[in-house]
Each structure stands twice: as structure tokens, then as C-alpha cells.
Structure 1
Amino acid sequence: MVQRVVVSKLLNSSRPLVFGMIHVPALPGTPSNTLPMSAILKKVRKEADVYFKNGVDGVIVENMHDVPYVKPPANPEIISAMSLASDQLVKSRDAHHPGALTGIQILAAANREAMGVAYTTGLDFIRAEGFVYSHVADEGWIDGCAGGLLRYRSSLKADHVAVFTDIKKKHSAHSVTADVSIQEMAKDAKFNCADGVIVTGSATGSAASTEEMSQVLRGVSEFPVLIGSGINGKNARDFVKAHGFIVGSDFKIGGDWKNELDASRISKFMRHVNSLKR
């Protein structure tokens, strides 16, 4: 089996690895778009530089400002724009923090497109939605995609690109899988060859449940478990048993994901996390 670098780093770290989020400005063709691509890419590069200079372990690009989201397939201009954004991320990494980890999520549930971008631009992983089971999101019904996505990865010979998947995903209804616990869903994600799972709260910026994290950790061994929302300096210690933290809101001015990055918040958070031990 392929040894994916990001998985090895997560499992062997003595503390949770920290991944900062770049919420790419609204892209061409979306309702909130106001910036040309040149300005969008300049902002992506600036934020990546700030993250890497302040010692985060990895950075993820995501088209979060493209609300309202649509179900896949993503439009060609979105794929092209996210490819260019990913290229800026990689260039920043190489300039400031070689060896840091890089990833991508393309909303909504454009997992195949994210895999293609990750492979062609040299990213380490994707964050996937709807990998196993199905759920209802505000975009509508999201189908499980594990079989098709991993066959696509194999067809590209992109086995080095890891897939981390949300389970009981935020901003979604899960009544259809109410009889499947989050622990069982994590087990099924591992059985279906995911490289790790992401536990979240109910919405962006909302803290995950420590009990749900513990259930997942008990259910899967030697398998990365990341916390994907609501992590901050005050509660990071509560989630220290996780392998990774994905942080967006807390790294922004005022703790609001829509605001600019605050380098002092990133630096302070990293000093705190560096003192933690799993």
C-alpha cells in the first residue's frame, strides 16, 4: 500500500498538526465575485505567505466565498481558478516552508475535481464530502463517492494524494443515517480506503464534540482523525488526542472566517499547540 506523506506525518507527530485555511475570494461566475483573477491570486499568495511564515504545518485552499454552492460537477472556470490558487500555494510553500503540507477542497462535494487539481499542482491531499454514505446538504442530496473517486485517483496514478473525509458533515442533515453512529461511519470510511476522517461541529466555527472525537478514536486505530471546525486557543487542549486541527475562523480578525488573516493570532496559536503533547 502507498505510504502517503501526510498520513505518516499525522500519525507520527507528538502533537496535532495544524492546517490553516485559505478561503479563496469569490471566483469568476459566482454571485459574490468582484475581483479579477490577478487580485484573487495575489490574495491567496499573501495569505499562504503569512501562514507559512508563522509556522503552520500545512495549508488548505477552499472556495468558501462561492456561496451559494452547487453540486458537482464544478464548472470549468472554478476548476481552472482553483488550479491557479493551488499553484500559488505550492510556490509559497517552496519559498517559505519546504516540506509543509498542502491540500484542497472544492465546494460543494467536487471531490473528483479536487483530486485532479491536487494531482496536477502537486498538493498532498484533498478534503472530501460525502465519501461514504449520503446526506442532505443545503445544495441538496449528496451521494457517497468512494468507489468512483478512488478509481479516478488510480487512473491518474495519483496514489500519493491522500483523501480525508468529513463524517456526519457540518451544514448537513443526517436523519437518513441516524442509525449509523459516527464511530461506525469512521470505520466504514477506513474500510472504504479513506486516508483519514474529519470530525466537525454543526457549522463553520462551531466546536466539535470531544465525545464524538473519542468515539471515533476508539473505533479506528492507526488512522488519522482531524478536527475540522471550531478549534481555538481556548479549547485546543480538549482535542489534543486528535492527529490534526483544521483552523479557519480563529486565524481571522475577530475570529470571523470572512475577515482578513491575523498573523498575531496564528503565531499565538502555534506557540500554544507546540506546547501540547498527544
Structure 2
Amino acid sequence: MNRFGEIFRKCLKNKTSIIGMVHVRSLPNCPLSRLSVQQLVDISCAETEIYKKYQLDGICVENMFDVPYVTRRDSGPEVTAVMTRVCAEVKKCAPNLPIGVQILAALNQEAVAVAVAAGLQFVRCESFVFGHIADEGYMDGCAGSLLRYRRHLNADHILVLTDIKKKHSSHSITSDVSIGETAKSAQFFLSDGLIITGQSTGHFPKLDELKDIQELNLGIPLLIGSGVDDNNVGDCIEQEVSAVIVGSHFKKDGLWSNDLCENRISRFMDRVHQCSQ
């Protein structure tokens, strides 16, 4: 069993893991920041308790409200500090669930540092292989430096789950590199799991791209990172993807910036259980 399976199947009730997003409200020094650090913690922990109630298989914490996003060059130490505090408290709320973190935009080393300090199990990494133009500007591949940093921290136990051909980006620079070739490169560069997404937040990836990657038999987990809902989660389970990461669909009216909606989560998990029989 791969390392992803070892971590997630300790609590797995379905053959496809369901990972819910905790979108941390805007951090200090960001344009939309209005809340104290303690309020950020309280809201994140309250969302974690809801996910526990409906027996999700994992949680990923992300600073989604920090728009407009910046890369490491313009990010301050307060981001790493506050995300560490939030993630540590979330982990306390759900000590038996796999918990991960993503720090926008492409603060991948910082995410690994947070995961080490907070006792998390995985990070979601942008721009692992190949360059692309994102909302925030040009992003370069980071696999070599990131995995060396992980080794430097003696943190090889932390999974690095990697977006390929990620959303909100132009891939014209690598238009001659197929998503299959990108997946093979990520696998060769020691990714612990491949995440495929649609064109933007809330959009499901193309099924033909999913099938193209599956046919490669790369031997590493495949996750869907956007657009999963009641209507297509059955397809995900039928295709035996390792996990789906759900954010927008669990919010009121399906909008990522709204509060969690327990009715939507309950209905979704009922559908998951039906499809997993």
C-alpha cells in the first residue's frame, strides 16, 4: 500500500477519500482582514467540527480569503505564523483525521514548515513541475528545492500532493506538454499524489484528462481538486480516484466565500455512501 493509503485508510469508510476544505478567513496584513487571530481559529475549528460530524475522511486548511494572493516575495512571516496556529488548533479538534495545508500562492516550503510544526499529514503544492502563468504571475517548478527542504526538516512522512496543469492559470508555455506527460514528470519527480482540477474554482476537470492519466498506470494516487458535487461524485468513485477535495460545493449556494451548509454536506455524504455500496 502506498503512503497515501497508509494515512487515509486508517479512517477510510469509502473507497474514495472525501477531503473537506477549511478556508481560513483573511489573515492579518491582507486587504480583507477584519478578524482577530482567535476568531480565525474559532471559525476554522467550528468548520472542522462540522466535517467530523459528517465523517469526512480528511481536511485541508487553506488561506483562501487572502485575496489578492501573493507569492513568497511579497508574503510576510505573519502568514506562516498564523497558519501554524490555525492548523495546530484544527489538528487538536480532529486528532484522528489526516489534516493538510495549502498556503497561497505557492508558498510550498512554508506549508511544509507549518505541517511539521502543527503535526499535519500532507500539503497541497502548486507549481511542482513545469512553469505556468497564474493569477499572481509567473510560477516556476519547485519539486527539487521543495523535496530537499522536506528532507532537511526530516519530514519525509509529510505527503506532498501536487496540482498539475492547475486552475486559474495559463499553460501556453507548456502547451506542447500534455497533461499525461505532466503527470509522468510529477511522478518521476517523486510526487506523493497528483491533483487534477478544472479551469477555475468550482469547475470539474475534463473526464478525458482523468482517463488519460489513469491509463498511464503511474502507481501513485490520483485526486480531483475542484468541481466535485452530488452529481459527479459517483463518477469519481466509479473511476476509483483516491480522493476528492471539496470546498465550494459544501458552502451555502455553492459559493466558496459563504459559510458551510450542513444540508449540502449531509446530502453529499449520503450520495457518497450510496455510490460506495
Match of 1:75 in 2: 76
Residue 35 of structure 1 aligns to a residue whose secondary structure is: coil
The aligned residue for residue 85 of structure 1 is 86
Q: Quote the residue 1:17 is aligned against.
A: 17
Q: Which residue of 2 aligns with 1:183?
A: 180
- 1:40 maps to a residue whose letter is L
Write out per-residue CA displacement over residues 158-215 of structure 1, whole angstroms, 9 at most, x where no aligned residue: 0100001100000000000001111111111010001011010000001111111111
Kindly indicate whether residue 131 of structure 2 is the aligned counterpart of residue 127 of structure 1. no
Tell me which amino acid in the other structure corresponds to 1:87: A
Work out whether residues 8 and 58 of structure 2, in 8 Å CA contact, stay in contact via their aligned partners in 1.
Answer: no
Question: Does the CA contact (< 8 Å) of 2:187 and 2:218 recur in 1?
Answer: no
SS of match in other structure, 2:19:
strand
Task: State how far apart, in whole Å, the 2-side matches of 1:249 and 1:116 are.
Answer: 27
Q: Which residue of 1 aligns with 2:40?
A: 40
Aligned amino acid, residue 163 of structure 2: D
CA distance in 2, matches of 1:22, 1:251: 10
TM-score between the two structures when normalised by the length of structure 1: 0.94
Distance 1:182 1:33, change over 3 A: same
Q: Within 5 Å, which residues of 2 pair with 1:1-278?
A: 4=3, 6-9=4-7, 15-73=15-73, 74-94=75-95, 98=96, 100-240=97-237, 241=239, 242-277=241-276
What stretches of structure 1 of length at least 5 have no aligned partner?
A: none
Per-residue CA deviations over 1:44-92 (Å, capped at 9, x if unaligned) read 1100111111110000000010001111153100001100110111011
Q: Is the 8 A contact 1:15 1:273 kept in 2?
A: no
SS in structure 2 at match of 1:230: coil
Q: Which structure has more RCO (C-alpha within 8 Å, separation ≥ 6)?
A: 1
Kept in 1, the 8 Å contact 2:179–2:209? The answer is yes
Q: What RMSD over aligned residues (CA atoms) do the two structures have, in Å?
A: 1.7
Is contact 2:8–2:98 with CA below 8 Å preserved after alignment? no
- Aligned partners of 1:152, 1:180: CA distance in 2, in Å? 27
Deviations 1:83-141 (A, max 9, x none): 011011101102xxx2x211000000000000000011111100000000110001111
Which portions of structure 1, spanning 4 or more consecutive aligned residues, are displaced by more than 4 angstroms? 9-14
Asked whether the 8 Å contact 1:10–1:244 carries over to 2, the reply is no
Partner Cα distance (2:5, 2:83) in 1:
23
Residue type of the alignment partner of 2:256: W
Report how far residue 3 of structure 1 moved: 6.0
- Distance in 2 (CA, whole Å) between partners of 1:252 and 1:153 is 33
Cα separation, partners in 2 of 1:22 and 1:32, compared to 1, 3 Å: same
Identity %: 43
Q: What secondary structure is seen at the aligned counterpart in 2 of 1:275?
A: helix
- Unaligned ranges ≥5, structure 2: none
Q: Secondary structure at the match of 1:274?
A: helix
Asked whether the 8 Å contact 1:132–1:188 carries over to 2, the reply is: yes
Partner-residue secondary structure (3-state), 1:168: coil
Q: Which has the larger displacement, 133-142 or 232-241?
A: 232-241
Q: 1:220-247 deviations in whole A, cap 9, x for unaligned?
A: 3321000000000011112222111000
TM-score normalised to structure 2 length = 0.94
Does structure 1 conserve the Cα–Cα contact (< 8 Å) formed by 2:2 and 2:220? no
Bigger mean CA deviation after superposition, 7-16 or 207-216? 7-16
